[in-house]
Amino acid sequence: MRALRENFLWGGATAANQFEGAWDVDGKGPSVSDMCTNGTNKISKKITTKIEKDTFYPSHDAIDFYHHYKEDIKLFAEMGFKVFRFSIAWTRIFPTGMEEKPNDAGLKFYENVVDECKKYNIEPLITISHYEMPYALVEKYNGWYGRECIECFERFSKAVLDRLAGKVKYFLTFNEINAGTMPMGNVLSLGTIKGYSGPISEIKDNPQIRFQALHHQFVASAKTVKYAHEHFPEVKIGNMICFITMYPYTCNPTDILMAQKEMQMKNYFCSDVQVRGYYPAYADRYFEENNIIIKKEADDDKILKEGTVDFYTFSYYMSNCIGEVNDVKKTGGNIGLGYKNPYLKESEWGWQIDPKGLRYTLNEIYDRYQIPVMIVENGLGAKDKLEEDGSIHDAYRIDYLRSHIEQMIEAVKDGVDLMGYTPWGCIDLISASTGEMAKRYGFIYVDKYDDGTGDLSRRKKDSFEWYKKVIESNGSIL
């Protein structure tokens, strides 16, 4: 039977705006995430149109990786990481997104991070854009709705590749690009929020704007892939999908069809474009029924064809159910909407925990695309307790990860070509959906709290030693 690759990429994943802090240091400009205040699992975060005094913005200081990167990467190395996923803050490189020349201090910071990883033989995996864009582009173009952003992004991604591709093998273009197919994508993913100030959940959704903006991201992504292939043949460049597996609530054929449609437009649409290089046929009907008309330029289809990705990556946290039934409770998750699955438990944030769903999903993805796959996010957001002696006993996190790794190995036995696994938030960081610090994922605890207090010291949780053994044994000791 097949087993995990010998050089399987074990590691962890992060994103710039959720952990770097130093939001206005060394020439950095404000990004969309820098305008977001924090919420809770019940209250949405808000976006402001200017930085307001006496308001708490969680991204501004975060866990200050910017000044702690050496200490943090040393801890990752101690766990035995083979890969470290992080993203580039666009506004460190181009503060407004519209400058002609990149800010060297920004590029230098990421070069230092890369060098530090290399020192320990950790392979960097760089997400070029993870849920943020320069706020100036929101004001000027209404985010990705403006076609001009393609050119701005090209300048940015070229600057990143030109500086780092000699040292870095793996890149991803946009984090969870399919967030743009859902109303939640308005803010963090697409920046299509012009003139808006209020809770994110109240932002008026406009699918025409969202899908047009998404088209611009597709073109920008394909142009980046093409550039990487032409100039750095040794680089592998992938896409990144937020996969929320949808099950039919019952075996009623109506439910089966609903689940299929949901899987197509929410989970597969973006990767069909990015892996195959063209819009899938099923999208036509969806666009027609939702009065969506995609404005394309003459070369767009050609660019999409020429810029297909080398490998497929995704985040996996939960599954959901969909069906006609009205008498079952809806799940309360921030990003997934559907019906509660009576066979599954859920996290405190309403995300349904489904390890077998990961095996199912890996099989579905690999069958569809037949290119290497990587799980670049997975994990349990939980409230950890810091004991008086400084220890953190997170057995629930170990259970979650163990059960998912078990199923991931089953999928490899099923035949899936899996490159690696990077659990989300390997060091505690700020939640993307709520802006909370209290929702922790890490193997490393950071002394930082939702009121902004904390001395930023780092401590190993129980899961730290556990994950170290998992990596050492290449997944045979769980």
Q: Where in the sequence numbering do the catalytic residues fall?
A: 176, 377
Least separation, in Å, of the C-beta of 349 and ligand BGP?
7
Strands (E), 249-354: 311-322, 345-346, 352-353
Q: Which is nearer to ligand BGP, 15 or 303 (CB)?
A: 15
Which of 271, 431 has the CB closer to ligand BGP?
431
Contacts 24+ apart (CB under 8 A), 204-210: 207/290, 207/292, 208/291, 208/292, 208/293, 209/142, 209/145, 210/180, 210/181, 210/183, 210/185, 210/186
In whole angstroms, the minimum distance from the beta carbon of 166 to ligand BGP comes to 27
Q: Please, are residues 32 and 130 in contact by the beta-carbon 8 Å criterion?
A: no
Q: Which of 397, 424, 403, 395 shows the shortest CA–CA distance to 359?
A: 403
307 with 232: CB under 8 angstroms?
Answer: no
Closer residue to ligand BGP, CB minimum distance, 117 or 438: 438
Question: Which of 216/439 has CB closer to ligand BGP?
Answer: 439
Between residues 103 and 181, which has the closer beta carbon with respect to ligand BGP? 181
CA torsion sign for 200, 206, 211, 213 is negative
SS3 297: coil
CA distance 147 to 216: 6
Measured between alpha carbons, how far is 339 from 244 in angstroms, rounded to an integer? 13
What token pair was written down for 174? 């946009």
Least distance from C-beta 269 to ligand BGP, angstroms?
17
Q: Return the number of the residue (382 or 478) whose C-beta is nearest ligand BGP.
A: 382
**C-alpha pair distances (Å), 58 with each of 39, 64, 148, 284, 369:** 10, 11, 29, 40, 38
The footprint of ligand BGP (CB under 6 A) covers: 15, 18, 131, 175-176, 242, 315, 334, 377, 381, 424, 431-434, 439
- Of 171 and 279, nearer to ligand BGP (C-beta) is 171
Least CB distance to ligand BGP at residue 229 (A): 25
Alpha carbon distance 235, 78 (integer Å): 27
Q: What minimum distance in Å lies between the beta carbon of 350 and ligand BGP?
A: 11
| Minimum CB–partner distance for residue 300 and ligand BGP (Å) | 26
What is the torsional sign of CA 238, 17, 166, 154? positive
Q: How far is the CB of 433 from ligand BGP (least distance, A)?
A: 3
Shortest Cβ 403–ligand BGP spacing (Å): 18
Residues 171, 228: contact at Cβ < 8 Å? yes
Of residues 30 and 435, the one with the C-beta less far from ligand BGP = 435
**CA–CA dist 157, 469 (Å, integer):** 36
- Collapse the DSSP code of 266 into the 3-class scheme (helix H, G, I; strand E, B; otherwise coil) and give the result: helix
Distance CA 218, CA 90 (A): 18
